């Protein structure tokens, strides 16, 4: 058996290596994935600040320069320097261009209490606009005005997410069970905007993406409801179901005010990197970037909110399913960046802490994605707390680290709190929607009191 995993000093790291292990727990780092390819010098610099050594997998990525790779046995041989063999389940044969990412393009973030009221009102407008489009399609009376209104609220939704990603995510978290098709479209559109914001897409592209994902399922109004809701379809039924993509694209082509790039998103959101998608079986970069993004967010929302399921699955499981399909159905770089964009614990996730307490993630920390704000609702014995309490994991960690650095406390006297795992919604009798409303109401109240205080001082 050949060499597979090699211990390596961080100063020997190079782009193209696959980091499979660290000299510290993954939870203490900002890396969202336990195992990743080094893509740029920034990641090497980050590893150097965190670790003394790491472990690399020489079967998956580039080996150390000091190793004589030619002497490795066939099982351990690395093909071609910086490259690697395709995933064993991958049928991708065409090269894929590297993703161009503009990090921190949208640095300014509005406080949650400022944005949440606007987002709540906008959320209702988005649902109303998309619902009106679907109603008119069912009556074969689609009007230009309805498309125009949907386009306008989609752009407003982009603006809201750019100002504060958490505000709109909260309002998309709770599923409207009797309105699955367009509640799914709205949620997927929010994920798409969050993702596009993260990789620095221009505002114009974000508008196109948001509208395309909102309208991606319009063709389903032409299909029988029984076909849409059927758990298992025959080959003939599946082919009939897949026609919704072309039907939707045809509807939008005939609708004034819908630009071709929006139709392209609708037409390509079911295409897959290895050619296994539909309707055209496109491969690799023949699928446009916005279509690739639409495919990822659509898949993620279907996995986390399956039709007919009472509860969505834990985000970490959805992420794991998505990650398994990297470089098969979805471009690997996009999958990794999407996971980085939403974090392992998106807003609204039910989590168990290292203390045994259970809480709900209520607000992200975009600098430290593994250290969000959590509303504690159950104690270590899993009993309801008399009063919910907010724990900012990032601030708690900084405070305890300062005590350690100053010598006032030893590491044996301080218990650092981590998220141990995320939980399936429904694991405990926790009303996430109620926690959301309480938290948002408190943030609004704090914002109002701060405004009144300023007015009194002026």
Comparing 149-158, 168-177, 186-195, 348-357, the range with the smallest average pLDDT is: 168-177
Band of residue 76 on the pLDDT scale cut at 50, 70, 90: very low
Query: What is the spatial distance between Cα 376 and Cα 362, in angstroms, rounded to a whole number?
Result: 10
pTM over 0.75: no
Can you give 417-453 as a three-state secondary structure string?
CCEEEECCCCCCCCCHHHHHHHHHHHHHHHHHHHHHH
Percentage of residues of the chain with pLDDT beyond 90? 24
The pairing of beta strand 18-22 with beta strand 53-57: antiparallel
pLDDT at position 49: 76
Fold of 114-342: Hypothetical protein af1432 (1.10.3210)
Of 295, 331, 363, 262, nearest to 101 (Cα)?
A: 331
Distances (CA, A) of 378 to 4, 175, 415: 43, 23, 19
- Does 83 score more than 60 pLDDT? no
Q: 216 and 269 in contact (C-beta within 8 Å)? A: yes
pLDDT at position 80: 33
pLDDT at position 73: 33
Count the Cβ atoms, other than its own, within 10 Å of residue 177. 12
Burial-class residue 397 by CB neighbours within 10 Å (0-12, 13-18, 19+): middle
What would the pLDDT profile of 252-302 be if each residue is shown by its tens digit? 888 777 889 989 999 999 999 999 999 999 999 999 999 999 999 999 988
End-to-end CA distance of the chain: 76
pLDDT at position 334: 93
pLDDT at position 69: 33
Distances (CA, A) of 399 to 354, 408, 414, 417, 444: 17, 12, 11, 12, 26
What would the pLDDT profile of 87-146 be if each residue is shown by its tens digit? 434 445 566 777 777 766 766 666 555 565 566 566 666 656 666 665 666 566 555 555
Q: Enumerate the domain spans of the chain.
A: 5-76, 114-342, 350-457
Strand partners, 205: none
């Amino acid at each position: 058996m050949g060499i597979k995993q090699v211990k390596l000093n961080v100063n020997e790291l190079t782009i193209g290596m696959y980091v499979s292990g660290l000299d510290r727990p993954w939870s203490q780092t900002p890396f969202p994935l336990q195992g990743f390819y080094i893509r740029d010098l920034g990641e090497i610099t980050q590893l150097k600040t965190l670790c003394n050594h790491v472990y690399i997998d020489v079967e998956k990525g580039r080996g150390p320069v000091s190793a004589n790779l030619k002497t490795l046995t066939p099982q351990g041989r690395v093909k071609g320097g910086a490259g690697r063999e395709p995933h064993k389940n991958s049928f991708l044969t065409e090269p894929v261009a590297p993703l161009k990412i503009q990090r921190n393009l949208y640095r300014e973030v509005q406080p949650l209490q400022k944005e949440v009221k606007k987002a709540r009102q906008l959320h209702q407008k988005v649902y109303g606009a998309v619902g009106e489009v679907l109603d008119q399609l069912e009556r074969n009376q689609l009007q230009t005005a309805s498309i125009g209104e949907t386009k306008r609220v989609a752009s407003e939704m982009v603006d809201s997410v750019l100002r504060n990603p958490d505000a709109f995510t909260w309002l998309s978290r709770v599923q409207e069970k009797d309105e699955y098709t367009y509640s799914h479209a709205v949620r997927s559109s929010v994920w798409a905007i969050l993702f596009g914001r993260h990789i620095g897409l221009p505002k114009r592209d974000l508008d196109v993406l948001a509208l395309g994902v909102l309208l991606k399922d319009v063709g389903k109004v032409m299909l029988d409801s029984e076909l849409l809701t059927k758990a298992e379809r025959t080959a003939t039924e599946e082919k009939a179901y897949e026609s919704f993509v072309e039907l939707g694209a045809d509807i939008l082509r005939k609708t004034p005010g819908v630009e071709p790039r929006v139709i392209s998103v609708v037409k390509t959101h079911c295409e897959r990197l290895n050619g296994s998608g539909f309707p055209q079986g496109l491969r690799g970069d023949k699928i446009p970037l916005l279509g690739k993004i639409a495919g990822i967010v659509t898949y993620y929302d279907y996995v986390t909110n399956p039709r007919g399921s009472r509860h969505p699955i834990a985000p970490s499981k959805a992420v794991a399913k998505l990650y398994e399909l990297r470089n098969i159905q979805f471009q690997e770089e996009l999958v990794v960046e999407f996971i980085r964009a939403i974090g392992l614990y998106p807003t609204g996730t039910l989590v168990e802490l290292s203390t045994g307490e259970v809480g709900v993630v209520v607000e992200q920390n975009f600098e430290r994605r593994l250290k969000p704000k959590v509303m504690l609702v159950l104690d270590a014995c899993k009993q309801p707390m008399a009063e919910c309490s907010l724990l900012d994991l990032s601030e708690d960690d900084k405070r305890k680290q300062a005590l350690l650095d100053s010598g006032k406390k030893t590491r044996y006297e301080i218990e650092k709190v981590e998220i141990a795992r995320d939980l399936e919604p429904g694991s405990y009798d926790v009303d996430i929607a109620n926690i959301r409303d309480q938290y948002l109401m408190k943030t609004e109240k704090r914002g109002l009191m701060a405004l009144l205080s300023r007015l009194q001082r002026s």
